[in-house]
Structure 1
Amino acid sequence: MLAAERRDHLLGLLARKGKIVAKDVAADLGISEDSVRRDLRDLASEGLCQRVYGGALPASPAVVGYDARHAVAPGGKRKVASAAAGLVRPGGALILDGGTTALAVTHALPRDLACTVVTHSPTIAAALLDHPQAEILLLGGRVIKRSAVTCGAAAVEAAQNVSADLCLLGVTGVHPEAGPTTGDAEEAAMKRALAARAAGTYILASSEKIGTASRFRVLPWDKVSGLITDADPHDAVIEQIKALGVEVLPAG
């Protein structure tokens, strides 16, 4: 089989099965695992898959700059945001992650809602300025410009001194095996620090992120209260996530 044919075969496997196991592909094609791994490295370099131990998973389409992310599935993000906003109770305390889906949550919150919002995103804080009853606590630290959030030791330390009823986290990939993932190690660590300070943590993920993975896991599924998504509730990946004991809240 020519290299181009192997490439098409691997991409087809990702589309059909949602993952590639290198040793199984090598056995099926009668080639070495090294050849499969080289092919996967090439695909990963083009952003077409996310390499993991033993193989690969579909790559998230959401690992792009902050400005570009606004154009990715805006309708799905609005649906997810509307469902997430419904979890915020009057008088409650919310930890709200950065990102475009979290920004959509601020637009979905009632203007007159009295609540406390803790965030490490200057963009989120600014978007809440026209919510007169919302108290805003902005966690300081080093600003990662591509995501418009603060991270690092100072931000993590600040997070350790707050608590909330609810944490809403944005991610770039959601996969039954890889879990909720993101493309930056510091951002993943900050998301874990935020989640640790809330009574419940929900993952925000529009449908294009379902079944995909990025490099860094945010949380194991047993640390997640639920997943809010506009994906088909009967999608095979969603069914696998439900089987792990994760509550899936439909956003329609």
Structure 2
Amino acid sequence: MVPEQRRQQIVTALGTRGMVRADDLANQLGVSLETIRRDLNELERRGELTRVYGGATRAPKRSESWDRRAGSHVPAKRAIARYAVRLLQPQRTVFFDAGTTIYEAAKALPGDWVGSILTGNGHVEQHLSDHPGVRVQLLPGDMRDEELSVSGPAAERVFDKKSVDVAFVGADGIHPQAGLTGCHEGEAAVRRLAISKSFERYVLADSSKLGRVSQFRVTDLASITAVITDSDVTKDVLDALVARGLRVHVAPPVSVEQLA
């Protein structure tokens, strides 16, 4: 079977099942696991699937809007956000990355917290602009319209002279071998610099991001202080990340009243 025929069979299997495991595909198609991994990498490059720990899932819709993503996994994101902001001491400088989970952290920031916020997230800047104890600075650079995320050379140059105490960063994928990855090259570059110029580095990511691999590499797991995720994380993915030396904090679920 030629590679393209094999890859089409993988795509067909994904359309039926929604998720495939690499070892199952190797057995079914009569090829090595390494060959399947190369096929999955190529199909992800084309946007036809998303790599996850041990296999692949259907690729997310690229047209998904900010509002739609902000409305997904809300209990998980709010649990992560409430847990994360409890880690912040007053009078610190904190970097808030792009992404909807980071935005939830901004919304969860206590009204009596005092400190400085540096952010590449226009939604965060807008929300915290009236916070009485916060001095908020939006990175300069190129802004993506609906996302209001800032990236580019001007944003990156800020970190030439500036460091932060704590970085809250997002992720499109966190994988035991591939590390932290993102789906937007400019945002990945800003995220990488923020991590390199901070003393504590927390990845805020709901459990759907764990085990996944996205297109642009950010950093390896050793550069991360901890990942904060939700209680839906599966044991196999959690164990694989912990085995690589990553600290994973599982946020307790929020109540119905806390979601209101």
Question: What TM bracket, shorter-length normalisation?
Answer: 0.7 to 0.9
Q: Give the corresponding residue for 1:114.
A: 114
Deviation at 1:228, TM superposition (A): 0.2
The reply to whether residue 49 of structure 1 matches residue 50 of structure 2 is yes
Aligned ranges 1:41-120 → 2 under 5 Å: 47-50=48-51, 57-58=56-57, 61=60, 64-120=64-120
Q: Give the corresponding residue for 2:236.
A: 236
SS of equivalent to 1:132: coil
CA distance in 2, matches of 1:186, 1:162: 19
Aligned ranges 1:160-175 → 2 under 5 Å: 160-175=160-175
Q: Give the corresponding residue for 2:208.
A: 208
Q: Give the corresponding residue for 1:226.
A: 226
The reply to whether residue 153 of structure 1 matches residue 150 of structure 2 is no
SS of equivalent to 1:186: helix
Distance 1:189 1:119, change over 3 A: same
1:42-76 C-alpha deviation (Å, 9 max, x unpaired):
6875643349xxx9644674864323211221111
CA distance in 2, matches of 1:62, 1:205: 19
Residues 202 and 225 of structure 1 are in contact (CA less than 8 Å); yes or no, is this contact kept in structure 2?
yes
155-164 vs 36-45, greater mean Cα deviation = 36-45
Residues 20 and 57 of structure 2 are in contact (CA less than 8 Å); yes or no, is this contact kept in structure 1?
no
Query: TM-score, normalising length from structure 2?
Result: 0.80
1:212-243 C-alpha deviation (Å, 9 max, x unpaired):
22111221111111100004466111111111
Deviation at 1:194, TM superposition (A): 1.2
Q: Which amino acid aligns with 1:222?
A: A
Aligned residues between the structures: 246
CA distance in 1, matches of 2:145, 2:25: 40
Deviation at 1:5, TM superposition (A): 6.5
Query: TM-score, normalising length from structure 1?
Result: 0.82
CA distance in 1, matches of 2:45, 2:92: 42
Q: Which amino acid aligns with 1:244?
A: R
Show structure 2 runs of 5+ residues with no match: 253-260
Residues 76 and 230 of structure 2 are in contact (CA less than 8 Å); yes or no, is this contact kept in structure 1?
yes
SS of equivalent to 2:169: strand
1:111-151 C-alpha deviation (Å, 9 max, x unpaired):
11111111122221111023101111221111122531111
Q: Give the corresponding residue for 1:245.
A: 245
Same amino acid, percent of matched pairs: 29
SS of equivalent to 1:89: coil
